[in-house]
Structures are given as structure tokens and as C-alpha cells.
Amino acid sequence: MGRPSRRAATAAIETHIAVLKGEPLKAALATALRDAEGLGGQERRFVALAARELSRHTRLLDLAARQLGHSPGKHVLTEDQALVRYTLWRRLFCGEAWARIGPEVKLPGPVRPRTLHDAVLEGLVTKPLAEPPAAEGAEAVVERLATRYSFPGWLTQRLSQVYPEATLAGLMASLDEEPSLHFRARPPGTRDAVLAALAEEGVAAEAVPCAPDALRVADASHRIFESRTMKGRRLQVQDVGSQLIVLACLPPGASLTGLAVADVCAGAGGKTLGLADLVGAKGKVLAGDRSKRRLSDARDRVREFGLKQVAFPHPVPLDAVDVVLVDAPCSGTGSLAREPDQKWKLSAKAISEFQATQSALLAEVAAQVKPGARIVYATCSVLPEENDAVVEGFLAKHPGFALEPVGEGWAPELQVGVDGPFLRALPPRVPGGGFFAARLVRKAG
């Protein structure tokens, strides 16, 4: 959790104020940490956690505020709203009393201007909270889940139409938690050796069985980032579902060694690195992205890992490759644990716009690939509009392509993320974020 302090509280609240004013959480947090003076490592860790938690639990915190007579609509100042949420978060999620919270939020700080007196904030901590009345019926289930896990009502309603209640509750609970760090051991197939090397350095880690090279660290001190194993490039931070998407690029019963692969939405290069390890020194990965800034990050990572088999041609010659990964722009509903502010920025209209972009991108790629080539369409969304519907719509318009099941030939422990012909990595069944992938092959002739 890190170490709370008055300065750390100030940075966390300032981050949330910036988010409420429309700034992305990642950017707001980076600014607050840069501007904060004298924060130690544990304080910075607390700031990052608190900032994410305030966005993560917004709905539940606002419900508690309303019960205590401080509805968000009553606050004239954004600063007041952020102070109320922070105070209630420290009470409800950290279990702290006013004796601990007070020094963090009392006047003359941590933020100005404000209209709330110290006595008001103390009341938020000391006044009793009543349990909300129990309700029954389908609508009550949606309301209960939306409140408990702080999701927008429209999104909870849509998810309830897709997943059974037990599955939905587990999914929402996972997306409402601070995510664990997962790593990929490299080169492929060396996870046991990497785990042994970490153990020698005193870092407690364990294998994640549903991906062949995945592991997680049980040590919360983050010593792994200072380990010789990490500095020796034997590890890459990567979500388990993301690793499975890379694995889905493997042709059934074959390997990518020596093949040419394109990553057309490479972003910051996470999957590009995984593909490079699979094709080996004799293969080729051609990476591209419409965002020059993100592609610059990918170039830096490729250079850092010393991968000579990755190139960044523009445009990427898709007719010359065997596999194309289309990690399409999406709503990110499977990544809300890492970017909790995004769930309050989404809308049904935005989902429709993503779907149109995804369909157009898939059609654009399909027009360029050679016969026998495979397209792996992937998202970090848990909504069928961006997953199944896009694939089914594509196949209906492109009879020259066929759906090839993902997971064919995979070991039984890897099948936990497979759902029919698709990869559907849903937490908590597959730890980490929620991911989807489908594999399409262009027919010969």
C-alpha cells in the first residue's frame, strides 16, 4: 500500500482533481508525482494507489457521501468533491479513524481552495453509515453490482446481458481491484530457470499455469525490478491475457520460428517483444502504429532488449508476412483495473464508434494479406460488440476467410482461456485483465 502522509495525500487528491477536470489518470498522476517534493518511494507508491482507488470506487464513495448528507452535486468546488472521496476512501477501504485521517486532510491543506471545514470531514469519518435496503429482481441485481463494484449503470446492464451473475460478479470484482504484476519469462520455455534465478536472489515468485511463460511475484517490495534477472532482460512485464494473444499467433501445431509477422497496432511494443522472441533470430517482426508517440516507445523497448529481428517499416508490407496481429483500438473494458478512470468516460456511443473502427481496420488488413496468411484479431475488451460481433460481421462480408480455432494443440492448463473457437481470457479465471482473440485464415485461391 505504501506509506500515507500529508504530502502523499496532497498529491493523491491533486491527481483526482485533475481527473475530475478531464485529464487522463496516468498523465495526472505523473504530473502530481513530478511536482511533489521530497516524497519517498513508499509515499509515491501510496499516491499511485490512492489516485487509482478514488477513480476505481467512485460510485460507492459517492453513495456513502450521499448517506452522510454530502451528495457530489452539492459541492461547488471540484476540490471539495475530491476531499470527500479521499476521506471516505481512507475510512471505508483503509479502515482508518479520524486520528489518522485528520492530519492528512485538515486545514490549511492539503488543497486550496476549499469550502469544507475540518468538522465536516471529521463527520464523514465518525458518523454511522446505514446498510442500503435489500432489493430483489433483475434490476436490483444490476444496481447492487454497479454500486458494489463502482461501475456505470449502463455498462453493468450490458454486461449482465452477456454473463451469468456469478461470472459477472467475479469479473467486476477483478476489474475493481488493484491489479497484480505479471511477467513473461524469456526466452520462451525458460520459466523454471528464471524462477530458480529469482529464488537465488531472494525474490519470491511463482508460475501462472494458464500461460506457458507467465509468472507473478509474491514479494510486494518490488525488489524484482532491481534483480539481476530483470536487468539481464530475462523478464518482461506483461499481462497473462496479453501473453495468450501472442500465443494465439502460432499456427496450429507449428511454431513462428523463422516466419515473418506483422504487428500493425504495436502501441508501446509489449506484444511486439513477445512475437520477436517466438520468431527467433531468423524470423522477422514488422511493427507499425498510427500513434508516432507510442511507436517511439516500442522502438525504445526493442532497442533496450537488443532485438535485431524487429523493424519499423512504413507502411508495413502486409503481403509479405505469414501472420498479422491486429490488436485493435478498443474500449479497454478488460483493462479497467489498471485504468479505472476510463469506465466513467465510456458510453454506448463510444462502443459503437470503436466497433466501426475495428471492422474497418480488419477489412483494410484483410485486403492486403496473401493466401494462407493468418490474421489474429485481438482486443482488451470484454464486450461482444467489439469481439464476437466484429469477427462474425467480417466473416459475413469476406467469404475468402475462415475462422480457425484458437487453442488447438494447447496444453490442458492453457485451455482455461479458450471459449469455443475464441480466446476469451476473463479474470479471475485467467488472472489479470480481460482479453479476446480470434484467428482468421485467408483461403488459398
- Give pLDDT tens digits for 202-231: 999 999 999 999 999 887 667 899 999 999
Cα 230 from Cα 437, distance rounded (Å): 29
Domain assignment of residue 380, yes or no: yes
Q: How far apart are the first and last CA of the chain?
A: 58
Report the distance separating Cα 40 and Cα 31, nearest Å. Answer: 16
Residue 266 CA to residue 291 CA, distance in Å, equals 9
| pTM: predicted TM-score of the whole model, two decimal places | 0.94
Do 94 and 160 share a domain, yes or no? no
Which domain does 354 fall in, by range? 240-442
Q: What is the DSSP letter of 251?
A: P
Question: Number of helices and strands (H, E) in the chain?
Answer: 17, 13
Give CA–CA dist 169/155, Å, rounded.
13
The rounded distance, in Å, linking the Cα atoms of 219 and 245 is 27
CA neighbor of 287 nearest in space, from 270, 305, 310, 258: 310
Domain CATH for 76? 1.10.940
* Residues 108 and 39 occupy one common structural domain: yes
CA pair distance 162, 149, nearest whole angstrom = 17
The residues carrying an active-site annotation are: 380
Same domain, 319 and 211: no
104 and 12 housed in the same domain = yes
Q: What is the CATH number of the domain that holds 359?
A: 3.40.50.150
- Classify residue 1: in a domain, yes or no: no
Strands 374-379 and 435-442: antiparallel
What's residue 336's pLDDT? 97
Over residues 339-386, the pLDDT tens digits come to 999 999 999 999 999 999 999 999 999 999 999 999 999 999 999 999
CA distance linking residue 343 with residue 63, whole number of Å: 17
Torsion of CA 62, 63, 65, 67, to 10 degrees: 170
At 407, the amino acid letter reads: G
Each residue's pLDDT tens digit, 121-141: 999 999 999 876 665 666 888
- Residue 389 belongs to a domain: yes
Rounded to 5 degrees, what are φ and ψ at 425?
A: -85, 100
Sign of CA dihedral 17, 23, 25, 26: negative
**8 Å CB contact between 314 and 295:** no
Q: What is the mean pLDDT of the chain?
A: 93
Specify whether 231 is located in the same domain as 285: no
| Residue range 36-77, pLDDT digits in tens | 988 998 999 999 999 999 999 999 999 999 999 988 888 779
Question: Is 327 annotated for ligand binding?
Answer: yes
Q: Report yes or no: 181 and 166 within 8 Å, Cβ to Cβ.
A: no
Q: What is the pLDDT of residue 330?
A: 97
CA–CA separation, 141 and 283 (whole Å): 51
